[in-house]
A and B are shown apart, each in its own frame.
Chain A
């Protein structure tokens, strides 16, 4: 457990207070529930399903178009609701929902790399869709998203260790 006020009895100088504030700011990022092996593939599937829904090309006939639109819209909403429930459960288990505004620099750097990687997944999806077809694009994006989430979970752990070392 990352104790924020472990030096409370000797906390007398401004430096001690500032150090305690920095440790406290890092606390929401340090203790986090680790996901199982299934976590990255599940995210990959979710991404694939979202891209499948978002890239629905429509049907030629009016009746099928409206049915298809309703089904895809419902699927999109269902995917968002599922992600909402997942995030709410994570927040409840963790006891906090970290905000990037005061994230330690090591965590911020990893988060930025993750966002860039997500953009690369999207770009790969569009590119492969255009070159090889929609299903290839969705499949490639799902595999890439799985790899990106697996990498991020590892990189996040490394960043957390760096923060622990810096603020210990």
Chain B
């Protein structure tokens, strides 16, 4: 049980970040609006969560355009994809033990 708990990634374990990582894992690229609408959280909250993921090296940010037409998109890094897979595996194992 302890081994499985150790495999949980503290950066991803927070529900909002876990859901954001899951959406990015299931996509090649996803934009800020899509994440915000599906997570149902504020822009500032999402910016904070995504900054944490970027700082951990799990996501790459791409910004295009300026002003109203500007667009921010995210892409999972290889490190992020591996971290998400590992975290998901650990969750599955924990579910099996419950």
User: Which residues of chain A have a CB within 8 Å of any CB of chain B?
Assistant: 1-6, 8, 11, 13-15, 17-18, 20-29, 31, 91-92, 94-99, 101-103
Q: Which residues of B46-68 have CB atoms within 8 Å of chain A's CB atoms?
A: none
B25-A25 in contact (CB<8A)? yes
Contacts of A26 in B (CB 8 A): 26
The 9 tightest CB contacts between A and B, nearest first, are A95-B34, A24-B22, A102-B26, A24-B19, A96-B30, A97-B28, A25-B26, A28-B27, A21-B22
Closest approach, in angstroms, between the C-beta of B36 and any C-beta of chain A? Answer: 10
Q: How many A-B residue pairs have CB under 8 A?
A: 103
- Interface SS majority for chain A: helix
* Interchain CB contact (< 8 A) of B29 among A18, A20, A91: A91
Contacts of A92 in B (CB 8 A): 71
The verdict on A99 contacting B27 (CB below 8 Å), with A5-B39, A14-B98, A24-B38 known, is yes
The verdict on A95 contacting B31 (CB below 8 Å), with A14-B91, A18-B92 known, is yes
Closest approach, in angstroms, between the C-beta of A3 and any C-beta of chain B? Answer: 5
Sort chain B's interface into a size bin. Answer: 20 to 34
* Interchain CB contact (< 8 A) of A98 among B28, B33, B39, B98: B28
B40-A5 in contact (CB<8A)? yes
Contacts of B71 in A (CB 8 A): 92
Instruction: Pick the most buried of A5, A6, A18, A22: most chain B CB atoms within 10 A of its CB.
Output: A5
A101-B40 in contact (CB<8A)? no
